[in-house]
Amino acid sequence: MIVVGRFTMGKGEQRRRDKARAIANADERRRVVLRVYQGCEAAGGRKLAELAATGVTPSCTAGCSHCCSLEVPMSRAEGETLVAWLVEQRSAEELDAIRARLRGWLVWYRTEFPRLLAAGMTRVDAFFLHGPPCALLEDSRCSAYPVRPVACRNHYVSSPASVCDPAVGNGEPDVMLAVAAATYDHVAEIRRIVEQHGGNYLASSHLVAEWLAHLLDVELEPWRGAERPADR
């Protein structure tokens, strides 16, 4: 039994309250993330307009998915927002197809990816040249574009799309960095709400595929044994 003030609370009641609090906190985090995304769109759009006035424009276009095979991190709060949208917007069959792609990604990440690194290939080359694309990519387009993570939302280059391929060159990140800087104050809200709920923001950062696999019940904590994003 748990004593709260003058009252005695059973363990069952405590579990129900803890579950209700966890659900309420997750709902609040999703609301904050969606508000942050709106702020990013506004602030990022203003920065892009400023850059365009100086003759600098992003070369990223619809259907350009070079970056969708790279390592993309996101926090749990963003993962919760993304999965809630998927569950609401996608059919059971579509969700199963996403789960199947996630299983394939996990197999590659744990088998072929380490072999490529051991052979001397860089992480960027291994992902770009050999990695499965994001499980949400369909016909070279993001199927969850309205709720794409901050890392995707702020990613722009002004160099030709062809040089995003590491075999050709490196895309110049000047536009990307400017947009990311313009949206920093908005993105910081996600960290604040996570920490307000007692979480560790940095520790909650995993790759998009890992959070999707966890939250879509493909596998419990698929990041166990993997390198932390900060080490990559």
Would you say residue 3 lies in a domain?
A: no
Would you say residue 78 lies in a domain?
A: yes
Closest C-alpha to 206, from 183, 193, 225? 225
Domain, as residue range, for 20: 10-231
Would you say residue 93 lies in a domain?
A: yes
Tokens (6 digits) for 5: 């003030």
Q: What is the pLDDT of residue 210?
A: 97
Q: What is the pLDDT of residue 28?
A: 97
Would you say residue 4 lies in a domain?
A: no
Q: How far apart are CA 190 and CA 32, in angstroms?
A: 7
Q: Quote the DSSP letter at residue 228.
A: P
Q: How far apart are CA 232 and CA 221, in angstroms?
A: 18
Phi first, then psi: give them for residue 144, nearest 5 degrees: -130, 35
Residues in contact with 130: Cβ distance below 8 Å, sequence separation at least 6, in sequence order: 108, 112, 113, 116
Q: How many domains does the chain have?
A: 1
Q: Return the number of other C-beta atoms located less than 10 Å from residue 206's C-beta.
A: 22
Q: What is the pLDDT of residue 229?
A: 42
Would you say residue 5 lies in a domain?
A: no
Would you say residue 2 lies in a domain?
A: no
Q: How far is CA 57 from the centre of its chain?
A: 25
Q: How far apart are CA 9 and CA 3, in angstroms?
A: 6
Contact 68, 101 (CB under 8 A): no
Q: Where are the alpha helices (DSSP H) in the chain?
A: 11-53, 76-89, 92-110, 112-118, 123-130, 150-153, 174-182, 184-196, 208-215
Are β-strands 2-4 and 7-9 bridged in parallel, bridged antiparallel, or unpaired?
antiparallel
* DSSP three-state, residue 67: helix
Would you say residue 1 lies in a domain?
A: no
Burial class (CB in 10 A: 0-12, 13-18, 19+), 201: middle
Q: What is the pLDDT of residue 228?
A: 44
Tokens (6 digits) for 195: 């920490």
Q: What is the pLDDT of residue 232?
A: 42
Which long-range contacts link 219-225 to residues 24+ away (Cβ below 8 Å)? 219/106, 222/106
Q: What is the pLDDT of residue 9?
A: 59
Each residue's pLDDT expressed in tens, for the chain with a length of 232 residues = 454 455 555 777 888 888 888 899 999 999 999 999 999 999 999 999 999 999 988 888 877 888 888 899 999 999 999 999 999 999 999 999 999 999 999 999 999 999 999 999 999 889 988 999 999 999 989 999 999 999 999 888 887 777 777 666 655 556 778 899 999 999 999 999 999 999 999 999 999 999 999 999 999 999 986 544 444 4
